């Protein structure tokens, strides 16, 4: 039986877990060789879900399983068709340390996405051009492309369980990170993405599923807790009305608490 361990004690977890859905074992082997050549060797683990005989694991369920099985302090979710160029492990580690200094509550880092102001931020070589690099990186974003995403283990994020398919899990992760008070960034980590991308009927089905999921989640509603009611709404007026309704009860409860504290102090 293992003894209890203080959270502050160091452990022997790997630095990086590289997680991939695999449809082509040959292409995946090339990806792994590329990463190992870039320094992702000692202190790294590679985990994959084998879809080479058919898509038995979709991205949402499959990547959740990979994240759950991984042990790294940082979990890389990447396509089998990405290749490192010149940036390697040391470069990525430095970019993540930069995020720690900039925003200790960052949760996700990637190489392509949009800001809240709908500005494109990218650092990649792909079919759209070589050596693409936006100014002012790292940049905080609200969406990330799925070809390469780094998850910070301590935030414990994973794609939604109530959506299925192979698209849009990058923005799903970004929304979940924001709901937890965390951020997502595009960083200056250059790699090559060989894929051409495919927007098909399933892409739009997943888009609509996510829109419906979050429309329902963010709807105005009242949640009864064990000791009060919480109002969730996008309406400032409805929120002010709810808070006004509980003000007298709140004031009386706090006053009784102060009186009880004074009585105990006598």
d(CA 141, CA 70): 25
- Is 107 in contact with 180 (CB distance < 8 Å)? yes
d(CA 139, CA 6): 35
Give yes or no for residue 266 having a pLDDT over 60.
Answer: no
Q: Is residue 6 part of a domain?
A: no
Q: Based on the domain organization, do 72 and 126 belong to the same domain?
A: yes
Q: Based on the domain organization, do 52 and 156 belong to the same domain?
A: yes
Measured CA distances, 231 to 203, 211, 223 (Å)? 34, 22, 6
Q: Based on the domain organization, do 234 and 184 belong to the same domain?
A: no
Q: Based on the domain organization, do 255 and 156 belong to the same domain?
A: no
pLDDT of residue 10: 62
Q: Based on the domain organization, do 160 and 196 belong to the same domain?
A: yes
The number of folded domains in the chain is: 2
pLDDT of residue 265: 59
Does this model's pTM top 0.85? My answer is yes
Q: 3-class DSSP state for residue 107?
A: strand
Model pLDDT for residues 38-50, shown as the tens digit of each residue: 999 999 999 999 9
Q: Is residue 22 part of a domain?
A: yes
d(CA 150, CA 70): 13
Q: Based on the domain organization, do 150 and 198 belong to the same domain?
A: yes
Q: Based on the domain organization, do 139 and 255 belong to the same domain?
A: no
Beta strands 191-193 and 82-84 are: antiparallel
Q: Look up the domain containing 100 and give its range.
A: 16-217
Residue 218 β-bridge partners = none
pLDDT of residue 5: 67
Measured CA distances, 85 to 28, 35, 109, 193 (Å)? 16, 9, 18, 10
Contacts of 246 (CB under 8 A, 6+ apart): 228, 229
Higher pLDDT, 102 or 245: 102
pLDDT of residue 78: 97
pLDDT of residue 2: 66
Per the prediction, the chain carries an average pLDDT of 91
DSSP code per residue over 187-237? ----EEE-------HHHHHHHHHHHHHHHHHTS-EEEE-SS-EEEE-S-HH
d(CA 266, CA 254): 19
pLDDT of residue 43: 94
Contacts of 7 (CB under 8 A, 6+ apart): none
Q: Is residue 190 part of a domain?
A: yes
Q: Is residue 5 part of a domain?
A: no
Q: Based on the domain organization, do 235 and 195 belong to the same domain?
A: no
Model pLDDT for residues 116-175, shown as the tens digit of each residue: 999 999 999 999 999 999 999 999 999 999 999 999 999 999 999 999 888 899 999 999
d(CA 124, CA 85): 10
| Structure-token pair, residue 64 | 């959740």
Mean pLDDT over residues 189-207, rounded?
88
d(CA 60, CA 160): 6
Peptide bond into 138 cis (omega under 30): yes
d(CA 50, CA 223): 41
Out of 17-21, 97-101, 226-230, least confident range: 226-230
């Amino acid at each position: 039986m293992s003894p209890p361990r203080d959270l502050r004690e160091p452990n022997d977890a790997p630095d990086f877990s590289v997680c991939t859905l695999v449809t082509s074992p040959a292409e995946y082997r090339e990806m792994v060789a590329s990463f190992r050549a870039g320094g992702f060797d000692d202190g790294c683990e590679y985990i994959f879900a084998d879809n080479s005989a058919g898509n038995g694991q979709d991205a949402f369920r499959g990547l959740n399983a990979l994240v759950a099985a991984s042990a790294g302090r940082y979990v890389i979710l990447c396509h089998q068709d990405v290749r490192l160029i010149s940036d390697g492990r040391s470069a990525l580690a430095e970019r993540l340390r930069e995020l720690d200094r900039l925003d200790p509550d960052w949760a996700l880092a990637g190489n392509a996405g949009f800001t809240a102001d709908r500005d494109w931020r990218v650092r990649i070589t792909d079919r759209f051009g070589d050596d693409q690099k936006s100014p002012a990186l790292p940049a905080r974003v609200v969406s990330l492309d799925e070809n390469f995403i780094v998850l910070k283990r301590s935030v414990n994020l994973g794609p939604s369980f109530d959506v299925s398919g192979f698209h849009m899990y990058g923005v799903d992760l970004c929304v979940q990170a924001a709901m937890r008070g965390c951020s997502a960034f595009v960083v200056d980590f250059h790699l090559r993405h060989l894929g051409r991308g495919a927007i098909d009927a399933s892409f739009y089905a997943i888009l609509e599923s996510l829109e419906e999921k979050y429309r329902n989640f963010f709807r105005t509603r009242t949640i009864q807790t064990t000791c009060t009611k919480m109002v969730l709404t996008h309406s400032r007026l409805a929120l002010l009305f709810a808070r006004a309704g509980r003000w007298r009860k709140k004031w009386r409860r706090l006053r009784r608490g102060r009186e009880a504290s004074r009585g105990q102090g006598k």
